[in-house]
A and B are shown apart, each in its own frame.
Chain A
Amino acid sequence: MKSVFSKVRNTALESTLGRRLWGSVAAIPLMSWLIGALGAFILENLVGYSLALLVGLPGIPAIFGLSHLGALIGALLKGVSGYAEVISSLMLFLGTLVYDLVIYIIPTYILARLSVPLVEKFLSLIPARFYTLLHLAVFYGALHLWSYQDDYRLLVVRFIGIAIMLTVSLNLVNGYMGEFSCAHGGFMAVGAYVSSVIMVWGFVQDDVFGPPVLPPALAPIAFPIVLIIGGLASSLTALAVAIPSFRTRGDYLAIITLAFTFIVKSAIENMEVIGGPRGFMNQPKLAGLPWVFIWTVLCLVVIYNYVNSTYGKATCAVRDNETAAEVMTVDTRRIKVIAFLTSAFWAGVAGGLFAHVVGYINPATFGIMKSAEVLAMLYLGGLNSITGSIVGAVLFQLLSEILRPLKLVKWVVIPILLITVMIFRPMGLMGFREIRPQFLRPKKEVKYAPASD
């Protein structure tokens, strides 16, 4: 296994230096990187805290110390008046740089390089169909080690997982089917509320719902089933959007999805039994990292398989020319229903997970701004690309983390950054391109003919 990634088209990488760097990185198989990361995180477990103190940090940096970068920017923005603050935030930033280098980057790289022959030998002994599973297992191991060192990390990682689910599922409708749905907040709300109500009614002593109906010990076992029920409920409501989509599309459908979001929010606000506008709480916080990880992976796998199957590719045909799709035997109504319902299902599951991470939800959480956030992540990453959605969601969340110390200014900087990305890459960072590890599928590169028109 020479290179792990199939060829990536990226103009930035076409310079010689870039290519050489990329070449040395790409020569290391993914598994080695994962093992390297695993090693680095073990190292952090052992000496992280002492090193952090040594370089002048108050404790191990939460998310690679990204927030120190934001703090530095914030201090610089204040200018001369915050002279002392600039110095102290600069020190913290340099400290995290050293920390990241010593704890993460250098050990990961060294270990990754060293483990190449071993990994190659090992992988050659194992049937190829287990590769994905194996990679996921090692990846989870590393993630687990890293996250469980810090409560904040754990929270952020779970939010990232949920963000990925939301973005990928929205991609199915907005990217692969080419509609403009703003209803994802609404779908998420349905899933979150349905699963919360069932869990609280079933397993929790609650003021409104009374004593638990089922033995609370069963809660962790019932949790995935309840999430599925929440997702299915969300799918059911998606029919309200899917049926109008038979006759209209584009802008009119966008309005229908918008109206749907208003309706869901208003409906929840009017249901006193689930707290109305005040919100709903007492959910058992069952959505730990393993569950979020499993659901995220499942979501990715299902949607990836679907859009790469001939059956699911009909969704793209509906997007590019609906009449032609119909004449080529595609049952367009069925395809639309599947896309909307699948998308809503995963939004509902993500909502359910969110509710059981936070332990409290209210209708305002799932308003139009939630939909807008998911849309921003989606278009940042790029349409019609699973990797794009992952990149978009992760990048957006990390960006939020960097800019967190800027407080309000964050919401000035994020729009400017996103507008810049859109202007220079209107298709998003990864629109219509995939990076796929080679072991997933025999490589088949999509080619673009030189533009002739």
Chain B
Amino acid sequence: MTLNEFAQHFLNALQWGSFYALIALGYSMVYGILMLFNFAHGDIFMAGAYIGLFVALALLSISTTGIIALPNWLVFILTLVLAMIFTSFLGMLVERVAYRPLRDAPRASAAITGLMVGIFLETSNLLFLGASRKTFPPLIEKTVYEIGGVTFTNIKIMIVGLSLILMLALHLFVRKTKWGMAMRAMCYDYVVVPLMGVPMNAIASLTFAIGSALAAVAGILFSIAYPVLEPYMGLLIGWKAFVAAILGGRGSIPGAVLGGFLLGFLEIFVAAFFTSTLRDLIAYSIILLILTFKPHGFFGEPYSARLRL
């Protein structure tokens, strides 16, 4: 493996790690606060990508018809922001409809409604948009740089950079703001904190909004890297990000990031060293082993600490 090859794999791993981490954060936050699996999250990622697609197309058509001429980078930023907003509304809606009525029900029941919401989103998409795949417009022109024999594209750097910035922003939000503190408190005690005047429903909505916004970013970045969209694109990546979230330790933000990148590296480098068909087999066997010997992930706490059924 030459240096350049290694660097390519490394960058790919970082890129995939970013996708996984952004989605895993959504899982982890919802988990931390409401203690439920949001199995619809992978499909919110998909929805985010589609919303991004439509926003981008709309903006581009405004731009080309000449009402206001927007440069591509501005279209990209606007797409990102608008898609984040719309997707967070979708996330809040999902919470309101499928999770809030089940808050006192067994967690597994909520997991099932989540699964069903996911299937609902996929099928409705298929029904309304048809089975044909959609292509994401190239908003960012691809440029290849070379430093010391290592080539890389601006897109990869942008994806990784933007993801890291958002993760940092989330970290600061959770650590430094009043709302962030309320969220952390809720993580700590689900039952008592609402009694202290923290608005449970608002926090739940906020959590879903933030998680969905991050998923939307992941969806758009993913569509820029791999510009083909289809209704089931969120299925596998969603399940995998879920694995990443738990691998890091449920409900832990640094854990989700670490888990996401670990999964990205595992998958890319397994595919690099062995054949790519063995990727899942080896990567998930390693994860199974990790969880066998480190049963609570990297940042998780033992199960007994917070048990709610």
A residues within 8 Å of B by Cβ?
174, 178, 180, 240, 243-244, 247-252, 254-256, 258-260, 262-263, 265-267, 269-270, 368, 372, 375-376, 379, 383, 408-409, 411-412, 414-416, 418-419, 422-423, 426-428
Can you list the 4 inter-chain pairs with the closest CB atoms, starting with the nearest?
A426-B105, A248-B295, A266-B280, A415-B116
Q: B86 contacts the other chain (Cβ, under 8 Å)? A: no
Tell me the chain B residues, 235-257 only, with Cβ under 8 Å from chain A: 235, 239, 242-243, 246-247, 250
Q: B83 contacts the other chain (Cβ, under 8 Å)? A: no
Tell me the chain B residues, 103-123 only, with Cβ under 8 Å from chain A: 104-106, 108-113, 115-117, 119-120, 122-123
Cα(A247)–Cα(B127), bound, Å? 44
Are A251 and B250 closer than 8 Å at their CB atoms? yes
Cα(A255)–Cα(B240), bound, Å? 10
Output the least CB separation between B70 and chain A (Å).
Answer: 36
Q: Which residues of B contact A254 (CB under 8 A)?
A: 37, 246
Output the least CB separation between B142 and chain A (Å).
Answer: 31
Are A415 and B117 closer than 8 Å at their CB atoms? yes
With A414-B119, A415-B120 given, can you name 13 additional A-B contacts, CB distance below 8 Å?
A174-B108, A180-B108, A252-B246, A255-B243, A255-B246, A258-B239, A259-B243, A383-B106, A419-B97, A419-B98, A422-B105, A427-B105, A427-B109
Residue pairs across A and B with Cβ atoms less than 8 A apart, 8 shown, are A252-B291, A252-B297, A258-B242, A263-B284, A269-B277, A376-B112, A419-B116, A422-B112
Q: B154 contacts the other chain (Cβ, under 8 Å)? A: no
Q: Which residues of B contact A372 (CB under 8 A)?
A: 115, 119
Q: B278 contacts the other chain (Cβ, under 8 Å)? A: yes
**In-complex Cβ contact of A426 among B102, B235, B296 (8 A):** B102
Q: Which residues of A contact B106 (CB under 8 A)?
A: 383, 426-427
**Would you call the interface of chain A mostly helix, strand, loop, or mixed?**
helix
Cα(A383)–Cα(B104), bound, Å? 16
Q: Which residue of B lies closest to A321 (CB)?
A: B307
Cα(A258)–Cα(B42), bound, Å? 15
Are A423 and B102 closer than 8 Å at their CB atoms? yes
Q: Which residues of A contact B300 (CB under 8 A)?
A: 252
Are B291 and A422 closer than 8 Å at their CB atoms? no
Are B105 and A263 closer than 8 Å at their CB atoms? no
Q: Which residues of B contact A174 (CB under 8 A)?
A: 108
Interface size of B in residues (CB-CB distance below 8 Å): 49
Q: Which residues of B contact A409 (CB under 8 A)?
A: 123, 127
Q: Which residue of A lies closest to B122 (CB)?
A: A411
Cα(A258)–Cα(B288), bound, Å? 9
Cα(A167)–Cα(B247), bound, Å? 28
Q: Which residues of A contact B110 (CB under 8 A)?
A: 422
Are A408 and B281 closer than 8 Å at their CB atoms? no
Q: Which residues of B contact A422 (CB under 8 A)?
A: 102, 105, 109-110, 112-113, 116
Output the least CB separation between A364 and chain B (Å).
Answer: 12
**In-complex Cβ contact of A418 among B102, B113, B296, B303 (8 A):** B113
Tell me the chain B residues, 251-279 only, with Cβ under 8 Å from chain A: 277-279
Cα(A209)–Cα(B229), bound, Å? 41
Are B303 and A252 closer than 8 Å at their CB atoms? yes
A267-B281, A427-B109 known; A412 and B246 CB under 8 Å? no
Cα(A389)–Cα(B16), bound, Å? 40
Cα(A306)–Cα(B37), bound, Å? 30
Cα(A408)–Cα(B122), bound, Å? 11
Are B296 and A248 closer than 8 Å at their CB atoms? yes
Are A412 and B127 closer than 8 Å at their CB atoms? yes
**In-complex Cβ contact of B288 among A263, A375, A426, A427 (8 A):** A263
Are A244 and B239 closer than 8 Å at their CB atoms? no
Cα(A279)–Cα(B136), bound, Å? 33
Q: B2 contacts the other chain (Cβ, under 8 Å)? A: no
Q: Which residues of B contact A262 (CB under 8 A)?
A: 239, 280, 284
Are B288 and A260 closer than 8 Å at their CB atoms? yes
> Per-residue CB proximity of B287-303 to A under 8 Å, as 1/0?
11001100111001001
Are B102 and A270 closer than 8 Å at their CB atoms? no
Tell me the chain B residues, 27-41 only, with Cβ under 8 Å from chain A: 31, 37
Are A266 and B279 closer than 8 Å at their CB atoms? yes
Cα(A178)–Cα(B107), bound, Å? 11
Most A C-beta atoms less than 10 A away, residue of B116, B235, B303: B116
Output the least CB separation between A407 and chain B (Å).
Answer: 10
Are B291 and A250 closer than 8 Å at their CB atoms? no
**In-complex Cβ contact of A259 among B98, B124, B284 (8 A):** B284
Are A249 and B303 closer than 8 Å at their CB atoms? yes
Output the least CB separation between A442 and chain B (Å).
Answer: 31
Q: B195 contacts the other chain (Cβ, under 8 Å)? A: no
A412-B124, A423-B101 known; A256 and B288 CB under 8 Å? yes
A258-B239, A412-B120, A412-B127 known; A379 and B108 CB under 8 Å? yes
Q: B1 contacts the other chain (Cβ, under 8 Å)? A: no
Q: Which residues of A contact B280 (CB under 8 A)?
A: 262-263, 265-266
Q: B285 contacts the other chain (Cβ, under 8 Å)? A: yes
Output the least CB separation between A270 and chain B (Å).
Answer: 5
Cα(A353)–Cα(B168), bound, Å? 52
Tell me the chain B residues, 139-162 only, with Cβ under 8 Å from chain A: none
**In-complex Cβ contact of B116 among A259, A270, A376 (8 A):** A376
Q: Which residues of B contact A269 (CB under 8 A)?
A: 277
Output the least CB separation between B152 and chain A (Å).
Answer: 30
Q: B90 contacts the other chain (Cβ, under 8 Å)? A: no
A258-B242, A262-B280, A426-B102 known; A252 and B295 CB under 8 Å? yes
Q: Which residues of B contact A256 (CB under 8 A)?
A: 288, 291-292
Output the least CB separation between B260 and chain A (Å).
Answer: 14
Cα(A151)–Cα(B242), bound, Å? 42
A411-B119, A412-B127 known; A243 and B284 CB under 8 Å? no
Output the least CB separation between B171 and chain A (Å).
Answer: 23
Are A411 and B243 closer than 8 Å at their CB atoms? no
A255-B243, A422-B105 known; A240 and B112 CB under 8 Å? no
**In-complex Cβ contact of B247 among A244, A255, A368, A427 (8 A):** A255
Cα(A419)–Cα(B93), bound, Å? 14
Q: Which residues of B contact A248 (CB under 8 A)?
A: 291, 295-296, 303
